[in-house]
Amino acid sequence: MLLEDLDIAAREVITKHGYGEYFTHRVGHGLGIDVHEGDPVNTGVKTPIKQGMVFTIEPGIYIPRKFGVRIEDLVAIGEAGTEILHTYPRELKIIE
């Protein structure tokens, strides 16, 4: 699997649900000491995903003059496969 495969998969899901035109950002980026390191997780990036890589998965949907949302997951590729480096509830919370 390539980094671009992750971007394409996310775009397919977002487009299927009617928000494709509002997904105007890459899916993620490599992560390291300087935060943005390595190749981006984006269409056109032919870098193979391999053990030892750490990157973000953070697709965003931005609807002009209404709202935007992006949830960032940190992912490490280890010997046993993919590991999400943190957990956070995904339930919608309305703040008034």
- Per the structure, how many domains does the chain have? 1
Residue 95 lies in a domain: no
8 part of a folded domain = yes
Q: Which residue has the tokens 């990036």?
A: 45
69 belongs to a structural domain: yes
Residue 45 within a domain: yes
| Residues 85-92, mean pLDDT to the nearest whole number | 83
Q: What is the C-alpha to C-alpha distance for residues 21 and 24, in angstroms, rounded to an integer?
A: 7
Q: Is the pLDDT of residue 12 over 90?
A: yes
- When pLDDT is cut at 50, 70 and 90, the band that residue 44 belongs to is very high
Q: How confident is the model at residue 90 (pLDDT cuts 50, 70, 90)?
A: confident
Residue 75: inside a domain: yes
Give me 93's structure tokens: 């919370």
Residue 80 structural domain: 3-84
pTM of the model: 0.85
Do the domain assignments include residue 19? yes
d(CA 83, CA 5): 18
Question: What sections of 1-96 are H helices per DSSP?
Answer: 3-16
29 falls within a domain: yes
User: Would residue 52 be called left, alpha or beta, if left means φ above 0 and alpha means ψ between -120 and 50 degrees?
Assistant: left
Give Cα 15 distance to the centre of its chain: 15
User: Is residue 35, in this structure, part of any structural domain at all?
Assistant: yes
Distance separating alpha carbons of residues 20 and 85, to the nearest angstrom: 27
